[in-house]
Amino acid sequence: QIQLVESGGGSVQAGGSLRLSCAASGYSTTSLCMGWFRQAPGKEREAVATIDKANKPTYADSAKGRFIISKDNFKGTLHLTMNSLKPEDTAMYYCAAEHPSSRPTCPKDGPSNYWGQGTQVTVSS
């Protein structure tokens, strides 16, 4: 069983930065497709960024140029560095992982088998 625990959320003013972390246990992150999702009140959950086994990242258009996803396989931790934050980035952010498999890439819609409890990000104008 893979367990994911997020941290690093908080409140920040527009233009500021935050770094989210997700500690994974139960399986080596080296062999996992992982990603970050977010859900704002009244909106559907959306993928923000994913990273495959080869550490190739994929970003939503809203995250391109501002967010960086990275994986520290030695520590078993996934990160999301968020810069130039905007009020519309306000949401609950979730870490996710796909069930281990032989496929090298992430599923089209990103990982979805394991989820963390979420960490709140609030950006004020």
Question: What is the per-residue pLDDT across 82-111, written as a single tens digit (0 to 9) for each?
Answer: 999 999 999 999 999 999 988 889 999 999
106 Cβ contact list (under 8 Å, min separation 6): 33, 35, 50, 51, 52, 58, 98
Q: Write the pLDDT tens digit of every residue in 15-46.
A: 999 999 999 999 999 989 999 999 999 999 99
Predicted local distance difference test score (pLDDT) of residue 72? 95
Q: How far apart are CA 21 and CA 69, in angstroms?
A: 10
Amino acid letter at 122? Answer: T
Nearest partner of 24 among 14, 12, 33, 37, judged by Cα: 33
Nearest-angstrom CA–CA distance, 98 and 2: 9
What are the φ/ψ torsions at residue 104 (nearest 5 degrees)?
-80, -20
CA 20 to the chain's CA centroid: 8
- pLDDT at position 44 is 97
pLDDT recorded at residue 101: 86
In this structure, the number of other CB atoms found within 10 A of the CB of residue 14 comes to: 13
How confident is the model over 65-70, as a mean pLDDT? 98
Burial class (CB in 10 A: 0-12, 13-18, 19+), 51: buried
Q: What is the pLDDT of residue 73?
A: 92
Query: What are the residues whose beta carbons fall under 8 Å from the beta carbon of 22, sequence distance 6 or more?
Result: 4, 5, 6, 7, 34, 36, 77, 78, 79, 95, 116
